[in-house]
Amino acid sequence: MLRLLDGPSLDEAAIARATALAAERRLRTLANDPTLVHAFWLLTRMTAASRQPDFESELAGIGIQTSSNEPILRFISRVSDAMRSEAAAHPASGHFAELASLALRRALTETVGQHGGSLFGSSVDDLQAGLRQYSGGQSFGRVARLFFGDLFARTLRSFVERELSNRTGSAPALRSIDDSQEFTTSLDRYARESARIMESFAAGWYGKRNWESQHRISRGDAEGFVGVALRKLRSELVRSES
């Protein structure tokens, strides 16, 4: 990875694969990380809850109190607080707990945005309407792609940013902060696009498990999915180009 950063040009695909290989041990650990599992579990349950007549009660059942007219930004802050409480119980997660929380936040905000609303002035009702669009088996794959794409982009960036800052101004392809930011944007885009493999996999899994569990996917179910999902993402990033 370091050699690639010092080259005359930056290949974000090659650096993403090299970074994934360098981070292999931590990425394997993430497969069983309780805070990551909790974040994905919350996403599955909130999505399933959006189809129920009493969205507020369903959310209360997973530990998140709200009201239908609560501003969406306040609600997302409440979800972040719940994630911080979960992270406090699992200190070994380290800063990856925050990455999982931010990925969940991104999935929720983009869901509202794609529903056509602005975050400012939107409410929990708008979130429910947005999530309902993704609550079918096939549709859930898109929100899962949002979540894992953001998580993987942030994870790769956390491994490369220190070396990137050390080389900005000295490496041939990193002459300025603008060069560094442009590369980071490209790396993010590559990681998020790699998460496209999540769509069909997540859709099939969610449709089956949500029906079998009567809309009550368990943490154990979520943990099993996360483990396989991260293996698929690692394989997608490190595979040789055909």
> What is the reported pLDDT for 240?
45
pLDDT tens column, 119-136 = 677 888 888 888 888 888
Residue 63 backbone class (left: φ over 0; alpha: ψ -120 to 50; beta: rest): left
**pTM to 2 decimal places:** 0.85
pLDDT tens column, 12-29 = 677 667 776 666 666 677
Q: Rounded to an integer, what distance in angstroms lies between the CA atom of residue 119 and that of residue 76?
A: 10
